[in-house]
Structure 1
Amino acid sequence: MRLSAPIFHLKRKAKLLSRDEGIPLHKALDRIAVQEGYSGWSLLASKQSALAPAGKIFAQLVPGDLMLLGARPGQGKTLMSLELAVEAMRSGKRCAFYSLEYTEKDILERFRAIGVEPAQFDGQFDFDCSDAIQADYIIAALASAPRGTIAVIDYLQLLDQRRENPALEVQVGALRSFAQERGMIIVFISQIDRSYDPSKKPCPDIRDVRLPNPLDLTLFSKLCFLNDGDIRFQSAR
């Protein structure tokens, strides 16, 4: 069944409905799904999953990869990171999500926004929103994680916000070494600079990554940028 708008826009519409009417996001998503001719959002999401790009992107990630996932606010980068996590867990891998931005409730709602009930991955998904999150903390937490585990860090520019934390480039370098040594895949959600102008180019690129502090972007092996439903994925090497 053809949707009236890209699924990205339907998710945004549901978020606005949730906020305006004060209802849970999953109920707003279900209401939007009914308008599209589905009985609920889970069914809509599952029918569209075959067309979703997360599976194709995940298939190109290999142990040791560091991927930068960048977009302006509201463009779906958190949902994309969760879709990648779901692809990993469906293949039997574990996922750890480290967030300096969201609560566990927020993440559970976003899982439901992509048509996934988190309980089905019980034991495969770990969420951590500690204020202590930084490279050494993540490395210690993943010390016993099996090869192929995917870790999502939300988000890159917050890792060194505390003065006592190491410089951002030092942290990313440490995580790169750890990922390569242990066969992990690490996805960094990233801000895009406000100077990015979608009227001049449809999707941001590596030149648009917001860098309040120095960072060698060649540390990343894969790049993915989103804007208004457009997705650009590439190997950085």
Structure 2
Amino acid sequence: MTDLTPPHDFAAEQAVLGAMLISRDAITTVTSLLSGPDFYRPAHEFVFDAITALDGTGRPVDPVTVGDELRSRGTLANGGGLPYLAELFAAVDVAANAGYHAQLIRTAADRRRLIDLAAHISQRAHDPEADPIALVEKARLALDAATPITGRLRTVDEILPDVIDELQALQRDGRRMGHPFPWREVNERLHGLVPGRFFVLGARPAQGKSMFAQNCAESVAATGQQVLYLSLEMTQGEVTRRMLSNASRVSMNRLQTGQLADSDWERIADGQTRIPTSIAFDEDPRQTVGTMRRAVQDLLRRGPVGLVILDYIQLVTPGDANIPRQEQVSQLSRGCKLLAKEFAVPVLALAQMNRGIETRADKKPVLSDLRESGSLEQDADVVLFLQRGEGEADSWVTLHCAKFRHGQTFALDMSFEGHYSRIAEIA
């Protein structure tokens, strides 16, 4: 195989550095697009770093001062020496094209990064000890990091018309901003399951997390929206059985034991017609952020997606099993937030809580009770907790809103009807 020269543009690199030597405006333009490693020729990276160091401290930038900066760093020879700085300075008459030339450099640098990444992936894929799933996830993260970001900047005058249109639609239609929770007061307080927002629901085991998520799925799917249910804790059959109990009002105990009367079968026949059919399950036990993203894309090809549920986040396969667990969960948390923003869909991630709450005198949940990660509380737009009553009070549950980025926190007592797999408002 013939070795190919990596993509680069020497002329553009020289033109950019020459422009930076004669114009501070060019420095501002170029540094918004490039960093030192984007230059292919090592000497150019040294010169670029010296220019940005001078500019960052308000010192003059010209061939003499850049030469002095390189000399003080012991890298004057690495930067080509004083004759090469003079050559760069003389090669450019005007700096007007610095931005265009910088884009050429960035494009070549992006191509080099992709080539290096492909080579690394190929090398790792030949290792018989490498886990293919983990390798794909690492490759996805690396590709995301290497992907050029375009179209990020929008000014207020560009954004404001969209905001006004949304306000007018809210007033005209009398609708909430998001898809409906199944509880009126929760809708009013949180404005629904708003697309693009990341919701976290924490609780200790057997407090109703999965039941809460199931009820939300049913509510959103009832509007005709698709729901992606990533169930890592329960099978799709178990979740569907719970939905059947809620729809038919046949107790979970009867559905699990098969001790059904004729009247139960009548209610089941009626109930199964009322279960929303637009809920899609994915119970792959090796779920990653990458597979979650592909599942959303697949579902979007069929129609709009109104909600993504992850049950629960600590069971998702990390992209890198070698990093500390807290950092793994942080990556997963950030991945969920980016998923919500990228596809403009609400993401509801269930999360375990620390055991410490069980030994505290005050058992009211707080943000730090989220297990293994402070990033969950940082990334989430809304953090909710479920807290069951004890003893005779086990028929109710308190929904604590510990964080709401766009409003006030609250606590709401609700009815826990586990025998029908539903959480209901208290009349």
Change in 2 beyond 3 A, CA 1:130/1:57: farther
Equivalent residue number for residue 194 of structure 1: 355
State the structure with bigger RCO (CA 8 A, min sep 6), 1 or 2: 1
Q: 1:176-187 alignment to 2 at 5 Å?
A: 176-187=337-348
Deviation at 1:148, TM superposition (A): 4.9
Contact 1:99–1:155 (Cα < 8 Å) also in 2: yes
The whole-number CA distance in structure 2 between the counterparts of 1:223 and 1:82 is 17
Deviation at 1:82, TM superposition (A): 0.9
Deviation at 1:103, TM superposition (A): 0.8
Equivalent residue number for residue 39 of structure 2: none
Which structure shows the higher helix fraction? 2
Amino acid aligned to 1:196: I
Q: Structure 1, residues 169-223: CA drift from partner, whole Å, max 9, x if none? A: 2232233122112211111111011111376334322111111x67352110011
Deviation at 1:99, TM superposition (A): 1.6
The partner residue of 1:80 within 207, 212, 223 is: 212
The whole-number CA distance in structure 1 between the counterparts of 2:183 and 2:333 is 32
3-state SS, counterpart of residue 205 of structure 2: coil
Identity %: 19
Deviation at 1:58, TM superposition (A): 6.9
The partner residue of 2:384 within 218, 224, 233 is: 224
3-state SS, counterpart of residue 286 of structure 2: coil
Change in 2 beyond 3 A, CA 1:218/1:118: farther
Aligned residue pair count: 188
Contact 1:196–1:208 (Cα < 8 Å) also in 2: yes
Deviation at 1:93, TM superposition (A): 1.6
3-state SS, counterpart of residue 197 of structure 1: helix
The whole-number CA distance in structure 2 between the counterparts of 1:63 and 1:189 is 17
The partner residue of 1:155 within 291, 303, 312 is: 312
Q: Structure 1, residues 87-142: CA drift from partner, whole Å, max 9, x if none? A: 21122221111122111121112213433646545541011111221110010111
Contact 1:54–1:83 (Cα < 8 Å) also in 2: no
The whole-number CA distance in structure 2 between the counterparts of 1:113 and 1:203 is 30
Q: 1:98-109 alignment to 2 at 5 Å?
A: 98-109=230-241
The whole-number CA distance in structure 2 between the counterparts of 1:165 and 1:153 is 23
Give the structure-2-normalised TM-score.
Answer: 0.39
Asked if 1:131 is matched to 2:292, the reply is no
- Tell me the C-alpha RMSD between the 2 structures: 3.0
Asked if 1:114 is matched to 2:246, the reply is yes
Change in 2 beyond 3 A, CA 1:57/1:80: farther
Ranges in structure 2 where 5+ consecutive residues have no aligned partner: 1-180, 249-270, 389-396, 407-427
Contact 1:58–1:88 (Cα < 8 Å) also in 2: no
Contact 2:221–2:276 (Cα < 8 Å) also in 1: no
Contact 1:54–1:84 (Cα < 8 Å) also in 2: no
Change in 2 beyond 3 A, CA 1:108/1:158: same
The whole-number CA distance in structure 1 between the counterparts of 2:342 and 2:319 is 27
The whole-number CA distance in structure 1 between the counterparts of 2:215 and 2:188 is 11
Deviates further, 105-114 or 67-76 = 105-114
Contact 1:96–1:150 (Cα < 8 Å) also in 2: yes
Equivalent residue number for residue 67 of structure 1: 199
Ranges in structure 1 where 5+ consecutive residues have no aligned partner: 1-48
Contact 2:318–2:332 (Cα < 8 Å) also in 1: no
Amino acid aligned to 1:231: L
Equivalent residue number for residue 404 of structure 2: 235
